[in-house]
Structure 1
Amino acid sequence: MCGRFAVTLPQDAMAQLFAARPVNDLPTVPNYNVCPTNDVHVVTSDSADRQLGSMRWGFIPHWYKTPADGPLLINARAETIAEKPAFRSAARNRRCLIPASGFYEWTKDEDGNRLPWFIHPAEGDALAFAGIYQSWDKGDAPMTTCAIVTTGANEPMGKIHHRMPVILAETDWPLWLGEAGHGAATLMTAAPDDALRFYRVDPKVNSNRASGPDLIEPLGN
């Protein structure tokens, strides 16, 4: 799964990296502790134009009468995304990229204490998570919401958690965004074993209220 991540890339650098035009109020960066229900950066495309916008992290199916009408859908499993009623239309027609500088995952020690790890790209400053999105208009104000697609972990990540976000290489962005025809389903696989690095970080990030650059500092530094 992916339940917490960090975004440190400046807005203009993010727009340049994804060749995307900023289109609405963007979340503040840096944010070292992006949590479910936060607004997140999202790249979408209409084939002729890429946009860098903001969406609520936590996918709301169209039949929900309120945002809390069912479980909070922050992740969509690659193995079942095409079958689940909540996700199947979005998987076909509303795919996006969700930029991140890295994400957190947890293991436990022998006493059951949660031990956080920060997972980041082996090269470069950013990751592009595969995402899907959905507009929801039954509340006082319409909102657009998203979920991160996940898959089974690669061998190194499997030492920390059995699942991981689908991370897309730059060459695959056009296909996922629908700019390069059909076949996006083939991209929903684990990243290569050498794509990521990880290290332990301070347990203070266990709190969703924690903030600051020290959250991603290696433990003991």
Structure 2
Amino acid sequence: MCGRFAITLPDDAMAQLFGALPSNDLPEVPRYNVCPTTQIATLTSAEGARRLRPMRWGLIPHWYKTPTDGPLLINARAETVAEKPAFRAACRERRCIVPASGFYEWTKDAEGNRLPWYITRADGAPMAFAAIWQEWSREGEDKVDGPTCAIVTTAATHEMAEIHHRTPVILEPDDWALWLGEAGKGAAPLMQPPPEGALRMWRVDRAVNSNRASGESLIEPIAP
């Protein structure tokens, strides 16, 4: 799965990278410990225009009466995303991209302590996670509304599997238009693991185990 990530690109750099118009309410960057249920920057495309816009990380199906009516859906499995009732319409009609610099996964030592790892692209380029989104709203005295999203994951590469058995689907620039629906249909083949050797990873300090931790030191390597 993907439960935490980092994004360090400034808004204007993200907009230039994706050829998108940025919203004026994007979350502040850099962020070294992006957690579920927070607002994240996403890329969508409609009527021939790309937009960088904020969404809540954690897709809320339209039938939820409250955000906690069911499981927290921060990830969608590539193998079943087109079939699950919570995801299938979004997979067909509302695909988006989540920009990231890297993401975290955890192993455990002999005592059961959670040991965090930071994973990024070996070539140093920004990551573009495949994702899907869903508008959600609740009427009433405390009305809540807005777009929500989930990151698509797939089976890990051999090297990544030593840390975790799942990895986000990482899209290459040539695939962005197809995933966003700009280049027709047939995006399913894009939901594959990255090639072997495409990722690099290193142990980081256990400070990131807290969702309140922040700062560049969270991604600095430490001795395994």
Q: Could you list the structure 1 runs, at least 4 aligned residues long, displaced by more than 3 angstroms after superposition.
A: none
Which residue is equivalent to 2:188?
185
Matching residue within 153, 161, 164 for 1:150: 153
Q: How far did 1:23 drift?
A: 2.5
Q: How many pairs align? A: 220
Separation of aligned partners in 2, 1:174 and 1:38: 26
Q: What 5-or-longer segments of structure 1 have no aligned partner?
A: none
Separation of aligned partners in 2, 1:63 and 1:24: 30
**Pair 1:212-2:215 in alignment:** yes
Which residue is equivalent to 2:120?
120
Sequence identity percentage: 66
Contact 1:153/1:190 (<8 A) preserved: yes
**Pair 1:174-2:188 in alignment:** no
Q: How does 1:26-65 map to 2 (within 5 A)?
A: 26-65=26-65
DSSP-derived class of the 2:213 partner: coil
Contact 1:100/1:128 (<8 A) preserved: yes
Q: How far did 1:174 drift?
A: 0.4
TM-superposition CA deviations, 1:141-173 (whole Å, max 9, x none): 311100000000011101100001000001100
Separation of aligned partners in 2, 1:160 and 1:13: 31
Which residue is equivalent to 2:144?
141
Q: How far did 1:98 drift?
A: 0.1
DSSP-derived class of the 2:158 partner: coil
Q: TM-score, normalised by structure 1?
A: 0.98
Task: Quote the RMSD (CA, aligned, Å).
Answer: 0.9
Separation of aligned partners in 2, 1:195 and 1:182: 26
Q: How far did 1:193 drift?
A: 1.0
Change (3 A) 1:60 1:24: farther
Contact 1:9/1:125 (<8 A) preserved: no
DSSP-derived class of the 1:175 partner: helix
Equivalent position amino acid for 2:133 in 1: Y
**Pair 1:161-2:168 in alignment:** no
Q: TM-score, normalised by structure 2?
A: 0.96
Contact 1:133/1:144 (<8 A) preserved: yes
Contact 1:47/1:178 (<8 A) preserved: no
Contact 1:97/1:128 (<8 A) preserved: yes
Q: How does 1:192-203 map to 2 (within 5 A)?
A: 192-203=195-206
Which residue is equivalent to 1:69?
69
Equivalent position amino acid for 1:112 in 2: G
Change (3 A) 1:24 1:84: farther
DSSP-derived class of the 2:161 partner: helix
Q: How far did 1:24 drift?
A: 3.9
Equivalent position amino acid for 2:188 in 1: A
Separation of aligned partners in 2, 1:105 and 1:23: 30
TM-superposition CA deviations, 1:106-130 (whole Å, max 9, x none): 0001111101000011113410000
Q: What 5-or-longer segments of structure 2 have no aligned partner?
A: none
Contact 1:24/1:54 (<8 A) preserved: no
Equivalent position amino acid for 1:80 in 2: T
Q: How far did 1:47 drift?
A: 4.8
